[in-house]
Amino acid sequence: MSSSVKFRGVSFAYSKGHQVLKDLTFQVRAGQVLAVVGQNGSGKSTIAGLIAGLIKLPKNSGELNIVGRSAIVFQNPDVQVLFDNVEDDIKFVLDNYKVEKSEHARRITDALSLVKMLEFQHSNPLKFSLGQKQRIAIASILALDPEVIIFDEATSSLDSAGKRDVLEIVEALKDKGKTVIMVTNVVDELRIADSVLLLQNGAGTQFDGPSAGAAGVRLTIDALNAAGFALSDFFKLKDYALKGNETARGALELLEQEPTLGKVG
């Protein structure tokens, strides 16, 4: 399977002497879900911005290749929901990207159907709950039919039902062959990831397949100085692994290999 997103030796600094990314290399295959985790300030949102095209990579700072269009869903849906009519909100995005007007109706219907908000097509999103607003923000992005969708901590301000709705959308996007980048510190989101990118001190380590679950366990055990997860999340990952979740299976393998982790469980 070909790579949809590829970083090779990427370095980035916002100001002289403060390097956020250092010689970062990783790739995401088409149709995969990548979870990007790390402490605040570790470069997660910088990676999201680079992939979305919101941040320009300076010359001689490595290679960044994105196959197809990319789009981003932010943490706060209020920055993406602007009008008092759902359809107008999505049309605004389509007009900005110069999508043919003959395509608008189909794209709006498809996007709202995927996020289960079609019945609210002519409603006022400014009166919606935060979770509903986030679904409209996601629909606005999906109407562009991007190949790569970035969720930049898009569930962090949502309640449990809202988080669950977003994860269901991510799984539906994966089924459609879309590539999803999830910037997250929510352990529940690791279970749907095919790959985990752990950022520490500007560098990254990528775990694929079952080993992604092992990475999640390592993160939860090392919560205070790794990615900020709660230690109780360790038990969730154990539960996912016991239930046969592919991403979490590496959790039990890691427990067998690391006696100190086993004591914590």
pLDDT at site 64: 95
The pTM for the full model equals 0.79
Report the 3 state secondary structure along 115-175: CCCHHHCCCCHHHCCHHHHHHHHHHHHHCCCCCEEEEECCCCCCCHHHHHHHHHHHHHHHH
Pairing of strands 33-38, 195-200: parallel
Question: Above 90 in pLDDT, residue 102?
Answer: yes
Question: Above 80 in pLDDT, residue 259?
Answer: no
What pLDDT digit, counting tens, does each position of 88-98 carry? Answer: 999 999 999 99
pLDDT at site 160: 84
pLDDT at site 228: 47
What pLDDT digit, counting tens, does each position of 209-252 carry? Answer: 655 555 554 554 443 344 444 444 545 555 555 555 554 455 44
